[in-house]
Each structure stands twice: as structure tokens, then as C-alpha cells.
Chain A
Amino acid sequence: MSQPIRLTVNGTDLERSDLDDAERLLDTLRWRLGLKGTKEGCRTGDCGACTVLVDGESTLSCLTLTREVEGTRITTIEGVRGEPAGPNVLTAFGAEPALQCGYCTPGFVMALTGLLQEEGSTHRTSNLVDELEGNLCRCTGYRSIIRAIGALGDELR
């Protein structure tokens, strides 16, 4: 039997001993913890739909073994309102609205939240756009997402 794993997910401390050694964080979140807001896309790190925050840092949960993040603080879309930048990001995406089918949306929200919270973050709209190249969207053509980021930039300044 596997060693138990301790995680803090959206502020709740968990200890699980039912996880496989090679289990991905994405699968732990979705199928063990029922946090389906973290979306399963490519599972190869190319689409960004599964982005979560690990100790505040934007992370692809499909390429992360749950065992690797033992003892960390994980935030998923279900907990993003509790992050300092989360409410602003949600408001900006909602006001545009910077979403259509909505499948890539939690990944964008998490990645952007992580970027804005980086220590000493001096992000401007232009480099935020560069930093988010790893998140793919097929519906919007990204224009509404870029507008939402722009609006957010104004608010932050």
C-alpha cells in the first residue's frame, strides 16, 4: 500500500492513502476529490485547461504527479475566490465575457491569477499575453480574453 499523502486543497487539509504512486494531480483533483472545475484537456501539457496553483504558482496538473506536490498548498478554480487576484480576474473575464464554451476558461483564470500574484509582479497587458501562450482556446479567437486582460491591467494600475 502507498504511503499517505498530505495536501492542502483550497484551504482544506487532506490526508489520502488511496492514491496510486503514478497518479496525476489532475486525476486526484477530479476523480478522488470531485473538483471537476479543473478541466481535462490534452493530458500532455499543451493546452493549459488543467492549470492550478501549487503554492501560488501556476502549474499544469496533468504533468504533475500528486506525490510530487506532497505538503503543498493547492488552489483550484473552486478556490480561486480566496486568492488575492482571483476576484479581479473573475470579474474581468465575466464582464467581457471572455469565454464561450467555457472549457478552457478555468485554466485561463488560474494561469492569469498565478501570474498576477507572482512576487514583485510588474506584468503589463503585453507580457501577460506572452505568458499565457500556453493556454489554448478554440472558441474566442482570444480577442475577448485579450480585452479582459487589458481591463484588468487598468484596474491593477
Chain B
Amino acid sequence: MTRSDGPAKLEGRAEFGTDVEVPGMLWGALVYAPVAHGRIRRVPLSGVRSMPGVAAAVGPDDLDRLLPGGGDRNRPVFPRTEVMYRNQPIAAVAARTASEARAAADAVRADIEELPALIDLETRFPEWPGPEAARSEGIIAHVHARHGDPDGAFRSADLVLTETYRTSGIHQVAIEPHACVARVDGGVWHVTTTTQTPFGVREDAAEILGIREADLVVEGTWVGGGFGGKGAAFLEPYALLLAAAAGRPVRLGFGYREEFLLGRSTLPSIIRIETAVSGRRIEARRVRLLLDSGASLPGRDFATGYSIGFLLGPYKIPAFEMEGYAVRTNKPPFGPHRAPFAPQCVFALESHMDELARRLAVDPIAFRLEHVWAEGDPTQFGQRVGPFGARAALEAARARIAAWRTDAPAGHGIGVALGFWSTGTGAGGETRLRLSERELVIEQGEREIGSGSVIRGLVAVAERVTGLPAESIRVAYSDTSTAPYDTGVFGSRTVGALGQAVEKAAKTLLGILGERLGTPPVRLEFAEGRIAVLTNKGLRGLETLLTDTERTAGGLLVGGRHFGTPGTIDESRVLDGTFYPYSDFTAAVHACEVNVDPETGAVRVVRSAAFHDVGVVVDRPMAVAQIEGGVAMGLGEALTEEALWSSDGRLLNPGLLDYRIPTLGEVPSIEVVPIEGFLGAGPFGAKGLGEPPVIAVPAAVANAVAAATGARVFELPLTAERVVRALKRLEGPARA
């Protein structure tokens, strides 16, 4: 077993957020708005307060009473005046049992005046908005940048290709739903919750509640999958508010229906890409993005300005213009989903790259190789590209698909796509290492979400620096009042960023031991349950190197911290909004072979291979597992996953039967090919691997379908219906 959490998880002994239970606990339930947009007149709760088992009911009128200053005015726990999306929580109830809480919440009859709702992007913008739209009502963010002379390049081009792509809303679908247990005790607010970011929840929930971060303690649990859906505060503020009102602990959890209806998911977009080519050289590109941001968009400009960069791709383009709009609609707020918005942008861009190559009669991989960044090239904002394995990954993919071509049955199609990612090594964190005679403990503030980045990744870093074997290294968890600060498990950053803190601390530890020994340690060793230090003078038991105080305190304690320094971009290219520098430059190439049923349009992926610019492999089994899982998720995004809304803002498929994620028999063989040697910022040159595996998959599938059938599908996912429509367009008179 290469995972120390394996036995507990296998036998059901790991306590997840959904499992947490404390004595005297009440059950919470949320009251949901019955309209997608409306003006709140009254949320009467006095009736439900006397229902069986009800201990507390809280709504907008209770915020001033229960929270300092009534909580955050811009982001109130419950809306005070306006409902922004259907099922928005407008009140909450705590009761003795779950069913009593649900019954009481369902009995609330809010008086809400329904207002016209905007659900679909194209209702707001039937045509592409002009610059005058940037400051208009409901535009949450506008970003605009230009470099060189794109207009001139388009005028003189040999070929101009303009295409419009559409992407759909997708849900994270972690198997564990959200759940937390809150209590307020002696002026301290506590919440135990399933989260990717305990410190992020602390910051966010404290702000929403209007309390000091120091007065809020967040304790993480084992996390049953995150994928971006368990980042910022979500259920915690409601649970904390209920606990404050009831004076008792309150559990608040979601069922899957609520996960689908309310989870912070990725929302639809419309993408337009235009490219000007002279000879076979890309001279200019214009990209435009209309992003449905729902009721709100976390990080506004960041989400838009970062996403849109993926539409230019990791390619040398002398001139460009890009413009993005984040449009408020009456849907639940937009939320991050593994590699936020990269699979969608890469789907559009890499489909477009294949279409360009087809029109130029160039091999699509050769066409990419002619344009792809190499180390030292400038990005669109003049940043220098660091070590980057895109070329090597593309070349490896070319060799692999050449082999596939020799035995692929007639009618099968092979597609390749290149994805780009920038690992979030800029977001920092701290750790403490505690070395005793018997073990090395990594004290840190994250929780393991499944990838193994905490339970295995951080351990592997400590192993490699100290020489100790994994069985002598333990990862310790605690709550935000005692754990070292860390920004959390997101952005593929755990090994890359927190791993650097562990690396530094481990080196400091060896340095201190070296001073005490008078000679530098070669490594630490572990035998018969005891740690010893190996030097050129021999082996020395650790017990002789620790002071009495250190022994009493549980070991020699050292800290390590890593706070990255962001790169810079050429601001002269920015016309509006904010754009962001990249940190690590990470390439992800996906290749797959598909079979398309010409009658039904059903697409079956029969084999696939993933080529990942990992820097170095820190732990091979974990890396392989991470890539396999990411590819499967990408297949869902490519083929079946699509949130469907009615024109009045009802989610039409809030369940697993109608929102289909891949099942056991649907994931083909996945060959995993790490591309090593293009070193990143992480320990030993490791790059992040949490998000890259998903990025290029939808695009590769779309390119394979086009290769198999000649039909291009311009919308994600490639459902059977869309494929059939594309096939019919191919046959139809419009084409003739």
C-alpha cells in the first residue's frame, strides 16, 4: 500500500465531513427561493418556529440581531432585498431531526415579488457586444487586451478562419456531498467541514458573518472529492448562524439534488476565435469570450482574465486582441471546477487549430510544433516562458498515434490536443516539521482530498530530502487555530508550493543536526522503530542529539515557509480589466482514438494516451492515478456532462441519472506518459498535476470525432444528438 490513508478508507474508518456528529447536535435545513429573480417583501418565520422539533429559524430579519453589524452588507448570509437565482437560500431552520428540519423549511411561505429573470447568455447578447456594453448593467467583469497590429494582419492574411464555439455548464460531482457541523462556544465560532481550504473557509466565512478571523476556528475532515467544489465558504455560514441562534451544535448537509441545484458549478460560455494565417504561419488571433457567471463570479476579473488567456494558447502569435465579458444571469454563482475554464477554452482553441491545419493541408501536430512556445519565448504579455515540455509531449504523442494508425480499424478517428496550465505555486503556505526519536511529523493546514498530494506528496518530499522511509513520516492535521497557515488544496499547488515549505524545513532540520554533530548529515535512517543520523563518521542515534526540552516537547521543531513571487506582465497591452502572469508553464497533451456510430452519433473512446509535462515524477503510482482520474473526468466533459436549464431558470437534470458522469465500463485504457526534465518551481523541479490531466481531453475527443467523420462539433459536450446534427450538416445541401 503506497497510501497511508488506504486502510482506514478501505474499511470505512476515515471520518468524512458527512460523518461528523457531536452530542446534542441539531439538524439544519435551508429554505429555498421559489423564483429565479425577485424582490423580497417578507420571509415570515414565526409560524415554523413552533413546528415540532424546531429549535431555531433564521432569515434576513435575524442577521442584525445575531451578527456583528448584521454581517457583510455586500454578501449577506441571506439576501435582504433581492433573490438572484432559483433556490437561493433565503432562510434556515434547525430542528431535532433531519425530517423535522426539512418539513419546517418547506413550510416557510416567503412573500417574494417575481421579477424578470435572465437565464440565457444569448437573450442578453443575441449579437456580440460592442465596447459600449462593458460598463452596462449586469456585466460583472470586462477584460480587454491587444498587442501588435491584429487588424493589419487580418487585412493582409492568406487565410482567415472565424469560428464560434459553445460550452455547457458542468458540475463537479464529488461523491461526498457538502456537510458541516457548527457550534458557537464561549464567543468562539467553530465549524468542522469537508473542505479543500480550511483557511480559505475561515477567511470567507468570517467576512460573510462579520466576525474576526481569530474568532472562527475551521477544522477540516477527510474530503470525499473536491474538484474545486469544496473551496470557499458554502454551507458553513448558514450552519454557524443556526448554531448561534439555537445555542446548540447544528449539522447542515446537502443531498445530491441540492448539490446539483446549488453547487457552485461551471456555467455556459460562447467563444469566438478568429485567426489570420499567411503561408502556414499564424500572424494574428482575435478571441472573444462571453462567460455566464451566474449570480456572481468569484474573483471576477481573475476568472475572466485568466481564462481568456487559454484561448490564445501556448503559441507564438505576433499580434492579438482578446476581449471577455462575464455576464450576470439568474443562475447560482459560478464556481471553479478542476482547471477552471481551461478544458472549455482548450476545446475551442484546439478544435480551431485542427480546423486551421485541415484548411492548410498540414499535419495538425506539425502545425502546432511550428507555433508552440519553447523556453525563453515571450508569452502574449511578454513574460518569458520557463522550462516547458509541450514540444516533447507533442512529439511523444505523434510517435504514439503513428503506432495506433497501424492497427486502428477503418472508421476510427484519432485526435490530439495540447493543453496549457500554470500551476498555482504563487499561493503560499507554511509547515512545521517535528523530529522525534521515532518519527518525523509534518504539521500542516491542509486536508487530503483524494489525489494523495498531502498524504503522499508531502511525505515523498520529506523522504527525498531526509532519506527517511515513508513509514517513519506522518502527516498531522489540526484546525486553523493551531495548524500552520496554508492557502489550501487547489490550483495543483500542494506539492509545488506547500511541498517547497516542507523541503525548506527538512533542509533546515538537517542543517541543525549537522551543527550539533559537527559534520553534515548524509541522511537520516530508520531502523527498529528508531531514527538515526548517518554521517561520514558513522551512525548516531537521534536520542543523543535532542535536548531534554525537545524530547519533552515531542521533538525538534523547525518551520518552513514558501510564499511565491508572482511574475510580471507587460501592462501596456492591457486595455481594460486585469490579466495575470503565469507561474509554472505546464503542458498536457492528450491523444485518443474514437469510434462513432453514424446512425446514432454515439461516440466511444477506445484508447487514449496522456502526455504530461510533470517536471519530475515525485511518486509514480500517485501520478498515474491522478492522470487516469483526470482523463476520465475529461471524458465526461467531452461526451455527456451538461447542466440543462429551462428558460425560467430551473435546472432540468439535478440528478445522476440525467447528468451522466462516466461509469466503470465507459473509461477506456489510458496510457500515462510522464514527460520529465522540464523542471518547474516545485521540489526537485516537480510541476503540479492536479488539474492538467483533464484539460486537453474534450478537445482531443472533438478532434478524433472530426477525424473519424469529417464533421466538426462546435459545442461541448459532444452528445450523440450534436454529433448526428454535425453529420447531417455534412451531408446536407448547405455544404454542397
Contacts and interface: CB of A to CB of B under 8 A. Distances in A.
The answer on A and B forming one complex is yes
Contacts of B662: 141-142
A73 interface: no
A34 B528 CA distance: 37
B255 A97 contact: no
A97 B655 contact: no
Contacts of B9: 99, 101-102, 105
Q: With a 10 A CB-CB cut-off, give which of A140, A143, A145 has the most chain B CB atoms.
A: A143
B702 interface: no
A3 to B, nearest CB: 20
A141 B672 CA distance: 13
Contact of A138 (B8, B661, B669): B661
Contacts of B448: 101
Contacts of A78: 11-12
Interface string A65-96: 00000000000111011000000001001110
Contacts of A99: 3, 6, 9-10
Given A133-B665, A142-B664, A47 B12 contact: no
A100 B629 contact: yes
A36 B19 contact: yes
B85 interface: no
Given A49-B175, A138-B175, A130 B665 contact: yes
A129 interface: yes
Given A77-B12, A100-B451, A94 B176 contact: no
A132 interface: yes
B450 A136 contact: no
Contacts of A76: 12
Nearest to B635: A141
Contacts of A31: 21
A44 interface: yes
Interface in B84-127: 99
A94 B664 contact: no
A95 B3 CA distance: 10
A103 B10 contact: no
A39 B16 contact: yes
A139 B99 CA distance: 31
Contacts of A43: 255-256
Contacts of A93: 10
A47 to B, nearest CB: 6
B717 interface: no
Interface residues of B, number: 56
A44 B656 contact: yes
A139 B656 contact: no
A90 B10 contact: yes
A95 B223 contact: no
Contacts of A97: 1-3, 6, 621
A35 B223 CA distance: 18
A63 B661 CA distance: 21
Interface in A111-157: 129-130, 132-133, 135-146
B224 A39 contact: yes
Main secondary structure of the interface of A (DSSP, over half): loop
Interface string B637-680: 00000000000000000011100011111010110000000000
Contacts of A77: 11-12
A138 B174 contact: yes
Interface residues of A, number: 51
B452 interface: yes
Contacts, number: 160
Contacts of B175: 39, 41, 47, 49, 101, 103-104, 136-138
A104 B225 CA distance: 10
B664 A102 contact: no
A25 B2 CA distance: 34
A42 interface: yes
Contacts of B10: 90, 93-94, 99, 102, 105-106, 109
B449 A101 contact: yes
B631 interface: yes
B47 interface: no
B1 A143 contact: no
B227 A138 contact: yes
Q: With a 10 A CB-CB cut-off, give which of B9, B16, B448, B670 has the most chain A CB atoms.
A: B9
Contact of A103 (B176, B621, B632): B176
Given A31-B21, A144-B628, A44 B176 contact: no
A38 B13 CA distance: 10
A56 interface: no
Given A101-B176, A102-B5, A141-B631, A136 B11 contact: no
11 contacts: A36-B21, A41-B175, A41-B176, A97-B6, A100-B625, A100-B629, A101-B176, A130-B665, A139-B225, A140-B628, A142-B662
Interface of A: 20, 30-31, 35-44, 46-47, 49, 76-78, 80-81, 90, 93-95, 97, 99-106, 109, 129-130, 132-133, 135-146
Given A41-B177, A132-B664, 4 more contacts: A36-B12, A41-B256, A78-B11, A100-B451
The 3 closest A-B pairs by CB, nearest first: A37-B12, A102-B9, A101-B450
